[in-house]
Amino acid sequence: MPAFPTDISWLFYAAFFVLFLATIFLIGLTKKHRRVIQTQKEKLSLLQKSESILRSSERKYRTLVESMEEAVFVIDTQGILLFANQYFGRLLRSEPDLLTGKPLRSLLKGTSVESLFDSIDRAFESSLAGKTEYKLNTYKGEIWFETMLVPQYNNHGKLVSILGISRNINDRKALEDRLQALVNTLKKQHEVLQSLSGEVYRVQEEERKRISRELHDEIGQSMTAIDLSLQLIKEQHLKNRNLKSAITECQHLVQQTADKIHDFLFELRPPILDDLGLIPAMKFYSRGFSKRTGIEVHFRCDKAVEAIDPEMKTMMYRVYQEGLNNVAKHANAENIDVTIEKVTRKILLNITDDGTGFLPDSVLNRLGEYSGFGLLGIKERALPFGGSVSIHSQPGQGACLSLELPLKPSQQLYNSQEP
């Protein structure tokens, strides 16, 4: 039987055991430390690669920005220039490094450069991108620029600066100015054409009036004289019945011719328009129109329209005449409702039929203006008076032609309905 170990032997074994455990612990700790070190090395390597990529990207970005033929700048919330590219410096004949750190407002001068600073203020206030145009004084003189402003934020989402990219738009502005000059010229020419058109219509109406009077005075009197002469011959106790019959036929022919001349005179220039006014002339024309076409015309009008200028009366009569003729030619209608009323400082003429109707776009030309159906002539007559023409229609639902005429301040009209 072995002897029990002494106290010293027990201590020796205990020390050995503790040393064994410590060795195992240190070995495990060393392995863990190695893993940590390896992880840190990997992170450091990744960080170095990221920094390398970032530096490369920054170099590319700077190269791109410096080579741009556009002025690029960055300012902080106080308006201090933080960055400017070479193009920006060339505009001000200075090195970009000498410009940074200075207030942008002190560097830029021009007749409309304040619009840039206003836009910068708005971008800081709203945190939204913006765009503005302004003239900048450069060594080449005043140049138009278009600047895009983009807010920039730090890692905490706080707005810290504004990136500005300014592009030379001098050529575009010059082109716009030339186009505007052409537009102004075209407007003036259009106004001249409108004036000439109005003058042509005025001269045309005067000539119609003159021809109408001459026909009435000369041809009308001659036809009356022929009829009286034939009547005298007929009453001279002629025994030849065939001759009397021939004279009677001739008298009928003379009367038909006189009626046709009368109708022609009314179409050319109705004397009633000058003698009695617009409303009687329209009513008279309506009765003749209904008799010729079988289309009933229902007419309502404010008596106050008689107070408008004679030239405007003539124009309204011609529009009314053309409107009714259009219905007769194209609408296949049975009834026409005509209203003339005063609304505030305007006169409205509406000609509404119960015909087949049509799509209004079908009578628009490629310029978006009315053409055909006599509509272009109606519009041209209304333009010199500041009038406008519109059409409302649908297939199967008839059509409404509307003429709107502004009144002059001197024309005071009072509503009074004329049945």
Summarize pLDDT for 138-183 with one digit per residue, the tens.
888 889 999 999 999 988 889 999 999 999 999 998 898 899 999 8
pLDDT the model gives residue 251: 72
pLDDT the model gives residue 4: 47
Q: What is the pLDDT of residues 82-121, one digit of tens each?
A: 998 888 888 888 898 899 999 999 999 888 889 999 999 9
Say whether domain 277-419 belongs to CATH 3.30.565.10: yes
Phi, psi at residue 21, to the nearest 5°? -65, -40
How far is the C-alpha of 149 from the C-alpha of 75, rounded, in Å?
10
Tell me, yes or no, if the two domains 68-168 and 277-419 fold the same way.
no
How far is the C-alpha of 94 from the C-alpha of 101, rounded, in Å?
14
How far is the C-alpha of 21 from the C-alpha of 15, rounded, in Å?
10
Q: Length of the chain in residues, anyone?
A: 419
Is the model's pLDDT at 386 over the cut of 70? Answer: yes
pLDDT the model gives residue 104: 92
Is the dihedral angle over the CA atoms 116, 121, 126, 129 positive or is it negative? positive
Topology of the domain comprising 68-168: Beta-Lactamase (3.30.450)
How far is the C-alpha of 123 from the C-alpha of 142, rounded, in Å?
25
Domain boundaries, the chain: 68-168, 277-419
Q: What is the pLDDT of residues 244-290, one digit of tens each?
A: 677 777 777 777 777 677 666 666 677 788 888 899 989 988 988 89
Q: What is the pLDDT of residues 285-339, one digit of tens each?
A: 898 889 989 999 999 998 888 888 888 888 898 899 889 988 998 889 999 999 9
Q: How far is CA 219 from CA 78, 139, 183, 240, 283, in A?
A: 92, 82, 51, 30, 26
